[in-house]
Amino acid sequence: MAELKTAWHFAGVLLFTLATDAALSGLYIDNGVDQTVIQHSMTRYERQVVEHEILELLGLGERPRRSQPPPLDRSAPSFLLDVYKQLAEEHELARPTRSSENAISGDEQQAIDESDLIMTFQSKKHHLGVLRHGHGRHVWFEVTGAPGDASSLITAELRLHQSASHTAEPTDLYTVVAHRVLSVDNLGGMQMEKVAAVNTSAGSEGWLELNVTLALASWLGAPADNRGFFVTLHPHSQPERHVKPEEIGLEETRGPNSEGKQPFLVAFFKNGPKLDTAGGRRKREARRWRSHGYSENYLRNPLTDTSHWTTRSCEIQTLYVSFKDLEWQDWIIAPEGYGAFYCSGECNFPLNAHKNATNHAIVQTLVHLLNPTQVPKPSCAPIKLSPISVLYYTDDSNVILRKYKNMVVKSCGCH
């Protein structure tokens, strides 16, 4: 119920903005005569209020700033874009139809279902430079920007891309081992701890997944200890021998053709946005509007005050927020906008099945007919809401996919 009130309040905040000067608002609404129109005008302050409300709903204090368009061909955003498309299809279809080289395993699917925030970290160059330890590869990720902590972390995976080898026998078997780097001396020597391993063959192609949950949980609690992973490769026939990763086609971390194949870290969190109560936010909003010289009557928006329209029954109406119009396309990857919808109309006697009325609403309508000054008519409100997912950059490389419950009105009824 609290989530429903929060989503309903958010729709109300978007609807009470008024037209006072020419500035594209990004809001598309139902004009009361079955037409969807854009709310063209909005003062600078009104636009700031709407943007602030949306960012607060997304769990962000301010919008991320990016200097370049999102490079979607990188491995990390490409993976989450596939997950986003899958979630979008699941909202429309009984079973998604997915075709992508970012194959999702059963364990990953379970983590996707359980989490409400997924974040990917692209591999970066670390100040440790090239570490010397046999034939291995150092990979490092900046994890200090993670929105969750160890207690909210469900699982984390290191994903490494393997291309079919042209130097080793396709049937030769190998073990890929990920070590957590504990310390490094002045000569580049390391103290390491094995955290995960996976078996593969030289002829395999695709993404290898190594469970590194404990390592990431440790770094989230102590970021200074994050010295990255050191990946080694060992033949099954000689497990003590080190083999160069490129001999079985493990992709380089950097190079002209490696953007879509770079190692990346994906973390699944059970950690939704910290939303304030609708009442507290509404009081703060009213104070902000009054402090800029607006009266209480000014907050009565003709879009929500339907007394001047032809009486219509309770039904779903259009409310759409365009992220492109808000000029957020430089950091929001998907979707292009948010179709919230809202409920509007009268709940008059008799309340038939088409109005999705509760038994209480039916009784309230009857009592309203007997005593209209004391008992109001039932209200037109959402009775079914669905979630949305938003995919966005936090900086130039790390990406977040966040699920938000009860965000889209699917049907309305009299309550």
pLDDT in tens, 175-193: 999 999 998 877 667 888 9
- Look at residue 39 in the predicted model and tell me its pLDDT: 63
Confidence of residue 21 (pLDDT cuts 50, 70, 90): very low
**How far is residue 50 from each of residues 12, 24, 373, 383, measured CA to CA in Å?**
11, 12, 35, 25
Distance CA 211, CA 350 (A): 59
Confidence of residue 129 (pLDDT cuts 50, 70, 90): low
- Look at residue 174 in the predicted model and tell me its pLDDT: 92
What confidence tens digit (pLDDT) does each residue in 35-73 have?
666 666 667 787 788 788 888 877 777 787 766 665 677
Confidence of residue 304 (pLDDT cuts 50, 70, 90): very low
- Look at residue 25 in the predicted model and tell me its pLDDT: 60
- Look at residue 364 in the predicted model and tell me its pLDDT: 85
Count of H-run helices and E-run strands, the chain: 7, 17
| Across 6-15, 114-123, 384-393, least confident range | 6-15
**Cβ atoms 219, 226 nearer than 8 A:** yes
In a domain, 70, yes or no: no
Confidence of residue 196 (pLDDT cuts 50, 70, 90): very high
In this structure, what are the phi and psi dihedrals at residue 362, rounded to the nearest 5 degrees? -65, -45
Q: Give how many domains the chain has, as a whole number.
A: 2
Residue type, 50: V
Q: Mean pLDDT score of the chain, rounded to an integer?
A: 76
What confidence tens digit (pLDDT) does each residue in 221-236 have?
898 899 999 999 999 8
Sign of the torsion angle spanned by Cα atoms 10, 15, 21, 25: positive
Of 269, 295, 325, which residue is a domain's last? 269
- Look at residue 32 in the predicted model and tell me its pLDDT: 63
Is the domain of 80 the same as that of 223? yes
Is the domain of 39 the same as that of 169? no
Of 212, 234, 269, which residue is a domain's last? 269
**How far is residue 199 from each of residues 231, 233, 346, 347, measured CA to CA in Å?**
13, 10, 64, 63
Is the domain of 242 the same as that of 333? no
What is the CATH number for 332? Answer: 2.10.90.10
Q: SS3 of 327, please?
A: coil
Can you tell me the mean pLDDT for 363-378?
Answer: 85
Sheet hosting strand 206-211, strand order edge to edge: 206-211, 153-162, 264-269, 117-122, 399-414, 380-393, 332-334
Confidence of residue 99 (pLDDT cuts 50, 70, 90): very low
Distance CA 145, CA 315 (A): 43
- Look at residue 44 in the predicted model and tell me its pLDDT: 76
- Look at residue 101 in the predicted model and tell me its pLDDT: 56
- Look at residue 33 in the predicted model and tell me its pLDDT: 61
Is the domain of 125 the same as that of 53? no
Distance CA 47, CA 17 (A): 8
| Across 151-155, 329-333, 388-392, least confident range | 329-333
- Look at residue 181 in the predicted model and tell me its pLDDT: 92
What confidence tens digit (pLDDT) does each residue in 267-297 have?
999 965 454 444 445 555 555 544 554 444 4
Of 242, 269, 296, which residue is a domain's last? 269
Distance CA 84, CA 99 (A): 13
- pLDDT of residue 20 exceeding 90, the answer is no
What does DSSP assign to residue 6? H
What is the CATH number for 249? Answer: 2.60.120
Neighbours of 148 (CB within 10 A): 18
- Tokens for 51? 């943007």
Of 207, 190, 187, 189, which is closest to residue 198 (Cα–Cα)? 207
- pLDDT of residue 84 exceeding 70, the answer is yes
- Look at residue 98 in the predicted model and tell me its pLDDT: 41
| Across 52-56, 162-166, 247-251, least confident range | 162-166
- Look at residue 351 in the predicted model and tell me its pLDDT: 77
**Cβ atoms 60, 400 nearer than 8 A:** no
- Tell me which of 370 and 256 has the higher pLDDT: 370
Residue type, 331: W
Is the domain of 312 the same as that of 399? yes
- Tell me the residue range of the domain where 242 lies: 75-269
In a domain, 342, yes or no: yes
